[in-house]
Structure 1
Amino acid sequence: MSEVPTVDVTDVPDDAVVLDVREDDEWQAGHAPGALHVPLNQVPERLDELPDGELHVVCRSGGRSARATAWLNQNGYEAVNVAGGMGAWREAGRPLVSEDGTEPTVR
């Protein structure tokens, strides 16, 4: 795989557009507030939902988001992979919310 642009979770701006490519159950359990959820396998068919500008792509640990970032960049989007994914996000003390009102967690 070619080099994928990557940023440390602590360097993601508070106003960044975060694209979460995890599966539905992972998203429901906990995600970044205001993040956009498009599971990895749906990214090509849901491009019209992606805003213009830089996308900070995240998954659980960084593998799926790296693939999504590479694909998005090859298709004309400005995307950067968030190193360590939502696991690193949680460890860095970044905010998390859940969809069902329970204590957010990362799966």
Structure 2
Amino acid sequence: MFSLFKRIPSMSTADLQKEGAKEWTVLDVRTPAEYRSGHIAYAKNVPLNKIAGFTKKGDKKLAVICQSGMRSKQAAKILNKKGFDVVNVRGGMNQWRGTTKGGK
């Protein structure tokens, strides 16, 4: 049956931490101020309001993260419609237990 709502795959922050920068291009879709307050070292900041203009370089899989997982889910849907193979990171930075860059 044809579905109008394509389910976006998701992964936990623990899975992302295990596979890390070697496997994934991580897009942090929070605002630049949120990003500066602490982010995954290898994550690239592409705010949600600019995600539609994103162009991918390289062949790594895309993972999208935000603070809680809501904005990243929206971003993943937009990227998916553009033809990208993308995964939403559940729980976002609230669940991230790895090291961060920036912030206090």
Once the two structures are overlaid, the 10-residue window that deviates more, 2-11 or 22-31, is: 2-11
2:100 paired with 1:96: yes
Q: Alignment partner of 1:70: what SS?
A: helix
Distance 1:4 1:76 in 2: 12
Supply the AA of the counterpart residue of 1:80. V
Which residue of 65, 77, 83 maps to 2:84? Answer: 77
TM-score for the superposition, normalised by structure 2: 0.83
Identity of aligned residues (%): 36
Q: Please identify runs of 4+ aligned residues in structure 1 that moved more than 6 A.
A: none
Aligned to 1:26: 34
Q: Please give the residue correspondences for 1:8-47 in structure 2 after superposition, counting only pairs within 5 Å.
A: 8-12=12-16, 13-15=19-21, 16-45=24-53, 47=54
Structure 1: gaps spanning 5 or more residues: none
Q: Residues 53 and 78 of structure 1 are in contact (CA less than 8 Å); yes or no, is this contact kept in structure 2? A: no
Residue of structure 1 equivalent to 2:8: 4
Q: How many residues were matched structurally? A: 95
Superposition RMSD in Å: 1.4
One-letter amino acid of the counterpart of residue 78, structure 1: D
